[in-house]
Amino acid sequence: MWASWQAQATTTLDPSILSLLPRHCTTCPCLHSPLKSHITHICQRTDSEKTELRQNRKVQGISGEEVSAAERERSVEVPWMPARLVTLPLPGYPLEYPPHQNCHWIITAPEASQRIVLNFNPHFEIERLDCKYDFIEIRDGTSDTADVLGRHCSNIAPAPIISSGPSLQIRFVSDYAHQGAGFSLRYEIFKTGSEFCFRNFTSSSGMIESPGFPDKYPHNLECSYMIIAPPRMDITLTFLTFDLENDPLLVGEGDCKYDWLDVWDGLPQVSPLIGRYCGTKIPPEIQSSSGLLSLSFHTDMAVAKDGFSARYNITHKEVTDSFHCSMALGMESGKISDDQITASTSFYDNRWLPRQARLNNDDNAWTPSEDSNKEYIQVDLHFLKVLTGIATQGAISKETQKSYYVNTFKLEVSTNGEDWMVYRHGKNHKIFHANTDPAEVVLNRVPQPVLARFVRIRPQTWKNGIALRFELYGCQITDAPCSDLQGLLSGLLPDAQISASSSRDMVWNPGTARLVASRSGWFPAPAQPLAGEEWLQVDLGVPKTVRGVITQGARGGDAGSGATTDNRAFVRKYKVAHSLNAKEWNFIMDSKTSLPKIFEGNTHYDTPELRHFEETVAQYIRLYPERWSPAGIGMRVEILACDLPEISTPADTATPTLPVDVETATVPITTTVATSPPSDSVCDFDHGLCGWTHDPNAPLYWSLHSHELNSYLYMDASLKTEQQRARLVSPVVAAETGPLCLLFSYQLWGEAQGQLKVLLRDAQNEETLLWTLKDDQGPVWKEGRTILPRSPKDFQVVMEGFFVHGTRGHIWIDNIHMSSSTPLKECTRGGVPVPPLPIHWHYIMAAGGALLLLAVAILVRALCCCRQHLATKKSQLSVAYHSSSQCFQYSNWSSSMAAPGVEPVLTVTMTVSMILPVIIMVKKPNEFGDGRLFSGRNPLGGVLQFPEWNTASPSSEPPVTRVSEKDNSWLYTLDPILVTIIVMSSLGVLLGAVCTGLLLYCPCSFGSLSSRSSTTLENYNFELYDGLKHKVKLNQQRCCTEA
């Protein structure tokens, strides 16, 4: 209903008219008398929804006379008047408004769930001059301290304004000069939706739909949906359909002008905003671990679309003390959507976009428009996560076949996408060394893991040009044991439970000390505080097991207030105290010094720092700043804790019962029973699949080739198998098993561009890529190896085969072995392409080797005994010592045998346990001089002197009859014969090794070693220490050189 209103005046209405007004229409001032009947009519109607405020040039009463200034200063309460649009006389407007006006209108809706919309007439004229003298001001509420929605002047009409509550306040002020036509507006009261517009979801799964779905949603909605999960539970939100009005001229993510859906990691308007979505593109899957996920749905009064539908699931989070913060965060798998990847610029031909920067992407990579160290690529992880590593890759252009890769880069992190910090190692910026070729995957571990939501990679040096593919590694904060967020970030913890020793003012009170979510933070009152005097306290509500704190700096003002970096403060060091009653306090102690422990705080006002300590039972936590930045003390915090274990009596445990809501919140993880750790047996498929099974969800099954000598699994390339996957799943491996070494034989051959992958699948069917190989590797058997890391959860190994094309080719796998005895270093070696031998050949080779060793031992033993027998008779040339258990002999040389310039040789022959003789040749080095040993002995008749050995003693052996030297002259040649045998045997072994090496080298060079034989975790095997990944770089030619 359009109604004309004068600028500020009061009048007395006829009592008969007042009796016709509803209770909320107590007065209808500022009206001309001809409108009395219309007012009565308006207040009686209930089926219309609009009215109009208009301002007059001249203030008049019922009789048309001007009223006093005192009357003009009174406030006017505008009643709620739902009405149809009716043409009304417009007294005065659009002539000039009078001077010295100070008018107030208060519009109140009858229901708390209703909202008010103001729409201004385009004919708008109020004195300019920065709205200092004449202006119209709209406040979101009835109080003088309510938020200002806008202050307007000049000749441009404001955009529509919507209240956040059921009331709105309008104020108009004019001075003594420069009047204009004024303004005209209408307001509209509307409902924010039906009972389905405000809902809380607590069951284990459910559907969330826009009002009226699948029909078009209503106008002017302000809906709110909240999904609440118990502790140690994750919330996963998956959108099925999505169609909201959007502006086609706004193409960036979050650029929504008309209708939109906001997703919050906690309470709306309090917690961090995950994203704002509109248009027809389905938002990515969202997973939250804060315990609360909220959706805010806003629509305007114009175009309506089909709306949205989404499914949520609440799943249990399994956490153990042995967890490793080394999960791939989703670049390669696609868990990180294209909209989450942005860059400073991209190459002009749209073939090198940010979405192509995924690790192992086979379609180019990301390249900026200009190769410069000012360019960057950025990822929004949607949540605050722990970053522990980055794997990078270059690319080969599909158009020019030219290689591009980044040699070094810097890392930047942020929690809000606005305030960035360059990662430092020590005092200097950390330079990460990346690639040396376009295909290799290089993993860089972050020396000190960092908390961040936004991650930027800024290339510093490169080869030929910048081209980058990468993956991020880390985990969520709540993946660690007893690390539940206690509600400061999400808003679940009320402001009343956050207190402090003092506060600077209302803008920086303790309630703003929320990690990430707050744009300011807590500042104490003193400009020059004393160490240990100020504190920030958090009341958890009930006693809990507290394990750590996260601290962040604070900003002394927002960007709109002109704040500078001088207003951005943080705490460098602090102490932590805890209490159960807020009266008796104890500090966290340092076990080394037995003094209160001083924790290292922040080095940047935006980057959070996580500090753990021994688990402590407490309800109140206090942080005492000890040292801080030059800008002063500024803090935002979050507490990490978990619920105390429940103590139940025998009576309680005798008949256990579960509440309905607990039962509905329990989601079965898997129907497969965990098995014991795998044995060291090899699955050669001679007797079936050895407990492995085909994945029922895969479109193809592996085929079994059965033969009496060798059996294996295979898949052949054909039109049927083109773009299809066959998957083989192992038995369930129990948690805390490993690390294991996975060994297997494979063939990957043909032009069909086959791919063989090894993946790790957990109980929630989430998969992690461990090993992959693609393209033609030759029609020969090779060995693949990768490490199966120790996992806190049950897991399964998945062997996946895939063909890009349906042309000629095959993939074979055999001899799968999860070995717990193979050293991890051996597990990182590259495989040798040799065909697997039948098992009986191993026994034949072992028996042949044993016979050959026995024959050599017998031959050498015989020669030794013959030489001993001769030495006994030649006592003038040697001294022999005999015993029943061994044959031990030394041979010296007479002066006649030691010719000048000839190097003397000492031969020592020993028989150990009368079985195997050992020949030891000792030669005197030339550099020690002629006739000298170590320059410490003098020659004596050319015979080497051994004082402890060369003293002769009377022989106890019986006399021996001399034998003619001529008859036994062949015995004097035993030494050359033995030397010849040994030398020839050595040459034979060496020649055999060379031939074997050549035989192995040919397949290696013919096969995959000319190209990358594997990807991430074969060339770069990860060993997990203290939750971090280390790179073990493999030499691709090792299998050939070691052979």
DSSP label at 611? E
Which CB contacts under 8 angstroms, 24+ apart, belong to 934-942?
A: 941/894, 941/895, 942/893, 942/894, 942/895, 942/897, 942/898, 942/904
Is 495 labelled a binding residue?
no
Yes or no: say if 571 and 633 are a contact pair by the CB < 8 Å rule. yes
CA–CA dist 103, 137 (Å, integer): 10
**Cβ contacts of residue 30 below 8 Å, gap of 6+?**
5, 6, 7, 8, 9, 10, 11, 76
Count how many residues are written for the chain.
1043
| Helix ranges restricted to H, 759-908 | 824-827, 839-873
| Closest to 887 (Cα-Cα) out of 859, 908, 903 | 908
Q: What are the C-alpha distances in Å from 875 to residues 866, 939, 960, 962?
A: 15, 22, 10, 10
Nearest by Cα to 246 from 235, 229, 260: 260
Classify the phi-psi angles of 623: left when phi > 0, otherwise alpha if psi is within -120 to 50, otherwise beta.
Answer: beta
| Closest by CA position to 91, among listed 136, 145, 30, 155 | 30
Residue 305: how many other CB atoms lie within 10 Å: 19
* Run of H or E including 345: none
Q: Is the distance from CB of 384 to CB of 453 less than 8 angstroms?
A: yes
How far is the CA of 467 from the CAs of 329, 350, 357, 460, 748, in angstroms? 21, 14, 8, 12, 29
Contact 409/457 with Cβ under 8 angstroms?
yes
Instruction: Print burial letters for 448-481: b (CB count within 10 Å at least 16), e (below 16).
Output: ebbbbbbbbbbbeebbebbbbbbbbbbbbbbbbe
Map tokens 């517009």 to a residue: 197
Q: Are 570 and 605 in contact (CB under 8 A)?
A: yes
Check whether 643 is labelled as a binding-site residue.
no
How does 131-159 read in b/e, with b if 16+ C-beta sit within 10 Å? bebbbbbbbbbbeeebeebebbbbeebbe
245 is in an annotated binding site: yes
Instruction: Give the C-alpha separation, 752 to 724, whole Å.
Output: 12
3-state SS class at 128: coil
| CA 93/CA 701 separation, integer angstroms | 81
Q: How many CB atoms lie within 10 A of CB 840?
A: 9
**Which two tokens mark 507?**
């803008």
The whole-angstrom separation of Cα 422 and Cα 417 is 13
Residues of the binding site: 245, 259, 300
Residues of the binding site for Ca(2+): 245, 259, 300
